[in-house]
Amino acid sequence: MSDPLELILTCPKSLEGLLKDETTELGLLEAKASIAHVQGLADMATAYKLCIWSRLANRVLLVIKRFPITNAQDLYDGIYKIDWRDHLTATGTLAIEFTGKGSGIDNTHFGALKAKDAIVDRLRNHHGQRPSVEKLHPDVRIHVRLDKGEATVSIDLSGHSLHQRGYRLQQGAAPLKENLAAAILIRAGWPKIAAEGGALVDPMCGVGTLLIEGALMAAGIAPNLHRTQWGFSNWLGHIPSIWKRVQQEASDLSKQGLAKTPLWIRGYEADPRLIKPAHNNIARANLDKWLKIYQGDLATFAPHPDKGQKGLVVCNPPYGERLGDEASLLYLYQHFGKVLREQCQGWQAAIFTGVPELCKRMGIRSHKQYAFFNGSIACKLLLLNIIPQQLVVKRVTAAPNEPSKKASALLSEGAQMFANRLAKNYKQLAKWAKQQQISCYRLYDADMPEYALAIDIYNDWVHVQEYAPPSSIDPDKAQTRLLDALSAIPQVLDIAPEHIIIKRRERQKGKQQYKKQSNDKHFIEIEEGGVKLLVNLEDYLDTGLFLDHRPMRLRIQQEAQGKRFLNLFCYTGAATVHAVKGGARTTCSVDLSKTYLAWAKQNLLLNGYSERQRLVQADAMEWLLENKEAYDLIFIDPPTFSNSKRLEGVFDIQRDHTKLINLAMNRLAVGGVLYFSNNFRKFNLNQQLTEQYHITEISEFTLDQDFKRNSKIHRAWQITSNV
């Protein structure tokens, strides 16, 4: 094997350029980078050196043959011609990994099967025995790649992927692969910083992967030094004497590196469950003296106590996956930026993220950005110099009362504009709400069309609903405006960021409004008109209380004394609770949702009511057809659309309201009142009803000051009999 060997080193997509530089430094000749791999020439010693020293590669493949193919038989023949006696014993084990397609081979399993058949047939024809397939720990792992009519056959010298260093047996929920972590550090300039004696710190370190890779670099330790399983161990072309020499050189350099004075490398992790796994990983990497990890979050994070020393802050913050994560992530990034600006002047920072737009909210300009992939997720690495010239000018909104101590935001021009409007609304409505003893109200409802949000106050919580933007709006612009608004809210309202809940509101279909947004129950108690009600800001799209119906509920409370009250489409029973509070003789609440009826029961129990209050799970239309009781006060607030067993399967407010009102009026006692409302903006009341009953539209009287800006939030009518 004195002739140069052709090697292919595979790597994650986006690491090719870095891998080319690394392999060239390690001795690979004529290195060329292509998508997800680098190829070049080397001797056997260099091949071994690449296996033990590469921080970026996944695999080191030794090419043993290339040949053209036009069909599956060509693949078989080309592989059969290789003298497999040079690579594998007849009684050994092998595994085939096949990639690519074409030339009549469009299934990788079929391609792998043809390659396996060719190898075992060749060895059986020579020895009368054949090797067996072993997928996990074969003696030899063979790679076959088909590309543009050419097959490339290689021996995998690495075995398991080289990113599996062996120290990380325990990991967190979203771990970085070790070679990606190494690439982040190399791009961030950590090798140079380490050579100059700089520090390394990760304030959200998880199980310590970035820090361990950084310590291995700083100490000059081969990343795969302690690896015990190799793809070449049982390969017949393996040269143990050369391998032992390469391994010994790496071991000697490791000892020299560990003997050096350790750099200051520290990590902080808020989740206590990850601390022990992190310590275990550090111990397996033999880096106890080089690296320390402590439990703590960003609030407790601080860099090296020696103010004179600088270094690198590296971090892979969470990306967020669930609806509503924008709010919590925004405040995390904002606070992270605040910590960097206040605690890390003169340091460098490297932020690896799948949501790079949030880094703009940190208040520090990046001077370089690199595109990466974390698995299938497109990510960016942003490099920051934390110096005054790179800090964004701080714009502060004056809060209506005292300046906020709970949140500090760097507001963009758009965020400042939104903050001004929010502050204006808050100044007017907060005073009114206090006078009316109202603790839950709508503060903002798309007042500025480009900021299409509904913002509601619930005691010391803020509920934000984002109206889904039309397809004509650039999603990036919509996202930027949402982040602008979320930046301003805690500052203007002087409210803790963790008390801000965000949801996206779109047109709901069928029972979609009943679907949970999470698996937990987050109820808080509010008061309205002397009654207590439970709202849930997190688990469902709606909170359990329609704020715009506050005047209607209070009207029902005022008129309910001694009356029999019927609440159709009762939702969570808030109007029923008000009716009981007002002295209703009996109440009956009907809804199709078991979930909402259980919620209504909780609201009644919360106020000490339960004995005479009927809760009926039924379709309202069907129930009205069967029920023969009379009621003095009826409230109907149906959805625009709803699933039903009758009426062609779907309740449609425009189509079906005439029948609904007629059925309900049949149950209205002499002298009784029916209140009907809905929020369908295109709704038109059937004129035939006005001839049958005495109907008065009362919409303007059922809107409080917080909904005057949106007079079409609902329409309401008072209906009585003409008799």
pLDDT greater than 50 at residue 443: yes
**How confident is the model over 555-582, as pLDDT tens digits?**
999 999 999 999 999 999 999 999 999 9
pLDDT greater than 80 at residue 257: yes
Whether 439 and 343 map to the same domain: the answer is: no
Most confident of 171-175, 267-271, 338-342, 424-428: 424-428
Whether 147 and 183 map to the same domain: the answer is: no
Is residue 228 domain-resident?
Answer: no
- For residue 708, how many other CB atoms are within 10 A of its CB? 10
With H, G, I as helix, E, B as strand and everything else as coil, classify residue 408: coil
Whether 467 and 561 map to the same domain: the answer is: no
**3-state secondary structure labels for all residues of 595-652:** HHHHHHHHHHHHCCCCCCEEEEECCHHHHHHHCCCCEEEEEECCCCEEECCCHHHEEE
**How confident is the model over 168-218, as pLDDT tens digits?**
886 666 679 999 999 999 999 999 999 999 999 999 999 999 999 999 999
Q: What is the mean pLDDT of residues 333-355?
A: 91
Q: How far apart are CA 530 and CA 426, in angstroms?
A: 24
Domain limits for position 81: 5-156
More reliable by pLDDT, 415 or 635 = 635
Q: What is the mean pLDDT of residues 523-531?
A: 92
**How confident is the model over 654-697, as pLDDT tens digits?**
999 999 999 999 999 999 999 999 999 899 999 999 999 999 99
Q: Provide the pLDDT for residue 393.
A: 56
Q: How far apart are CA 650 and CA 413, in angstroms?
A: 46
- β-strands 265-269, 348-353: how paired? unpaired
Q: How far apart are CA 504 and CA 468, in angstroms?
A: 6
Whether 213 and 101 map to the same domain: the answer is: no
Look over the chain and give the mean of its residue pLDDT values, rounded to a whole number: 89
Is residue 348 domain-resident?
Answer: yes
Burial grade of 203 (CB within 10 A; 0-12, 13-18, 19 or more)? buried
Q: How confident is the model at residue 325 (pLDDT cuts 50, 70, 90)?
A: low
pLDDT greater than 60 at residue 246: yes
Cβ pair 575, 567 in contact under 8 A: yes
Whether 381 and 427 map to the same domain: the answer is: no
Q: How far apart are CA 445 and CA 461, in angstroms?
A: 17
The residue type at 424: K
Burial grade of 333 (CB within 10 A; 0-12, 13-18, 19 or more)? buried
Q: Which residues contact 669 (CB under 8 A, 6 or more apart)?
A: 564, 630, 631, 632
**How confident is the model over 477-514, as pLDDT tens digits?**
888 888 899 989 998 998 888 888 888 765 444 444 43
Q: How far apart are CA 689 and CA 663, in angstroms?
A: 12
Q: How far apart are CA 166 and CA 491, in angstroms?
A: 47
Q: Which residues on neighbouring strands pair with residue 384, listed in sequence order?
A: 349, 366
Whether 491 and 582 map to the same domain: the answer is: no
Whether 494 and 584 map to the same domain: the answer is: no
pLDDT greater than 90 at residue 642: no
pLDDT greater than 80 at residue 394: no
CA trace torsion 240, 244, 245, 247 (10° rounding): 130
pLDDT greater than 60 at residue 453: yes
Whether 417 and 386 map to the same domain: the answer is: no
Considering its fold, how many domains does the chain have in total?
A: 4
Q: Provide the pLDDT for residue 649.
A: 67
Cβ pair 80, 118 in contact under 8 A: yes
Q: Which residues contact 627 (CB under 8 A, 6 or more apart)?
A: 667
Residue 440: phi and psi, rounded to 5, are: -130, 120
Using CA atoms, how far residue 144 sits from 95, 184, 544, in Å, is 11, 30, 60
pLDDT greater than 50 at residue 1: no
Give the CATH number for residue 53.
3.30.2130.30
Q: Which residues on neighbouring strands pair with residue 675, listed in sequence order?
A: 635, 718
Q: What is the DSSP letter of 273?
A: G
Whether 345 and 459 map to the same domain: the answer is: no
The domain boundary, picked from 506, 530, 562, lies at 506
Rounded to 5°, the CA angle 226-231-235 comes to 125
**How confident is the model over 107-158, as pLDDT tens digits?**
999 999 999 999 999 999 988 889 999 988 999 999 999 999 999 999 999 9
Q: Which residues on neighbouring strands pair with residue 391, listed in sequence order?
A: 364
Residue 389: phi and psi, rounded to 5, are: -65, -20
Is residue 406 domain-resident?
Answer: no
Q: Which pTM does this prediction carry?
A: 0.75
